[in-house]
Copies of this chain bind each other. A is one copy, B any other.
Amino acid sequence: MPKVTLKDVAARAGVHTSTASRALDPDKGSLVREDTVERVRAAARELGYQGDAIASGLRRGRTNTLGIVVADLGNPFIAPVVRGIENHLEGRGLMALIAESRDDPDRMNRVLNNLAARRVDAVIVTGARNGDERALCRAQQQIPIVLAVRYLPDSGIPAITHDDERGGQLAADHFLAHGHRRIAQLCGPHDISSFRERAAGFRRRLEEHDVPTIEVDETAQRPMLEEGRRLMELLLARHGEPPSAVFAHNDLMAVGALEALASRGRACPDDVAIIGYNDTTMTAFTHPPLTTIRLPGYELGRMAADTAVMLIDDREQPGTSLSLPPVLVARHSTLGWSTTPRADDRRAQDGAADRRR
């Protein structure tokens, strides 16, 4: 099947290629006489002409492509963010090239180079981590970059994040409001901004109320179930009275903590109340259902995409960083079984279409 080019269309319509080009370009159609436009369109249709965005991109110096770098596509939290980006791009004629950094600075570097070589118009990085500064700043010389979810302090790269400090505060407030005074947290890795801030916000709010924060020395190597269990066990093995409330830095760690409690024969929330983070689907189904912090991932994706589009168009944007507010979703793991949480607690995070295979 010989691919049909603009030249073919032009020939069939009996016009020059540039005329054909103009006739087919929605922005330039007005420069061409009505009936010529019609003739060209007809020719294109008859030949099954499919424009070549590559050639066009080369000429125009714009690919209408946006790079997305995520740390891990398997992370359930990332899906709504990517959807938010996608949906915002849609209609603007942009498409997303997607890649995984896997929390590895080397890979981050390679991926950014690859994206640069493909001349994407901008890049949204959701998986930035301490250690990526160099690669990101270098890439930023060539392409507009927007950080999402995680940010890099002092990098000067615009970032759309969740207000994780606020998230930590919400958790602390909830515990305080329920009368807890022996309060602990299980920390995620400190080289990721999100976890640092959760820890800081939580600690600060407790301090404001003169309540000490109980912490084990270690942070989770990776914010996963096993680490949550391990840290919780360390916590329970400490001297002195055990905490009555524990803030885990994400839902999986919270579930690990639940298990550690169960295996020690301690009840949640009667002995220890627990709060998780992210409001992943499972939180509505754990036993007891988990109080957690819900983040507006979809919104965040949309805003990141919006920022990227603005950077593409203007190239002149001061540090338009932004931070979206989280919300606490109260369930039985802090309320106990006597209270009935709101009925819609199990709703998906983004409220959008939620089809399952």
User: What distance in Å separates the Cβ of A252 from its nearest Cβ neighbour in chain B?
Assistant: 5
Indicate whether A82 reaches chain B with its CB closer than 8 angstroms. yes
Indicate whether A96 reaches chain B with its CB closer than 8 angstroms. yes
State whether B355 touches A222 (Cβ < 8 A): yes
A142 to B47, CA, bound (A): 13
State whether A54 touches B50 (Cβ < 8 A): no
A351 to B288, CA, bound (A): 26
**Contacting residues of chain A (52-73) with chain B, CB-CB under 8 angstroms:** 52-55, 57-58, 63, 65, 71-73
State whether B356 touches A75 (Cβ < 8 A): yes
* Residues on the B chain within 8 Å of A118, using CB: 53-54, 65, 95
A127 to B248, CA, bound (A): 36
Q: How many monomers of this protein are in the complex?
A: 2
**Contacting residues of chain A (91-114) with chain B, CB-CB under 8 angstroms:** 95-100, 102-103, 113-114
* Residues on the B chain within 8 Å of A80, using CB: 74
Indicate whether A149 reaches chain B with its CB closer than 8 angstroms. yes
**Contacting residues of chain A (260-302) with chain B, CB-CB under 8 angstroms:** 278, 280-282, 284-287
Given that A223-B356, A357-B223 are known contacts, is A117 also in contact with B50, CB under 8 Å in the complex? yes
Indicate whether A224 reaches chain B with its CB closer than 8 angstroms. yes
Chain B minimum-CB-distance residue to A99:
B95
State whether A285 touches B96 (Cβ < 8 A): no
Report which of B71, B253, B255, B356 forms a contact with A224, defined as CB distance below 8 A.
B356
Indicate whether A194 reaches chain B with its CB closer than 8 angstroms. yes
State whether A50 touches B282 (Cβ < 8 A): no
State whether B357 touches A50 (Cβ < 8 A): no
A222 to B86, CA, bound (A): 22
State whether B103 touches A357 (Cβ < 8 A): no
Indicate whether A190 reaches chain B with its CB closer than 8 angstroms. no
User: What distance in Å separates the Cβ of A57 from its nearest Cβ neighbour in chain B?
Assistant: 5
State whether A353 touches B72 (Cβ < 8 A): yes
* Residues on the B chain within 8 Å of A356, using CB: 75-77, 222-224, 250-253, 278
A266 to B153, CA, bound (A): 54
User: What distance in Å separates the Cβ of A341 from its nearest Cβ neighbour in chain B?
Assistant: 14
Cross-chain pairs A/B with CB under 8 angstroms, 16 sampled? A54-B58, A54-B118, A58-B58, A65-B118, A73-B83, A74-B352, A75-B355, A86-B98, A86-B99, A86-B100, A95-B98, A95-B114, A102-B353, A223-B357, A224-B355, A285-B286
Q: Which 10 A-B pairs have the closest CB atoms?
A: A53-B117, A282-B282, A285-B286, A285-B285, A73-B83, A223-B356, A72-B355, A53-B118, A77-B357, A282-B285
Given A95-B114, A250-B356, A278-B356; 19 other pairs, CB 8 A cutoff: A50-B113, A50-B117, A50-B142, A52-B119, A65-B97, A72-B355, A74-B83, A74-B355, A83-B100, A90-B100, A96-B97, A97-B97, A223-B355, A223-B356, A250-B357, A255-B285, A282-B284, A285-B285, A285-B287
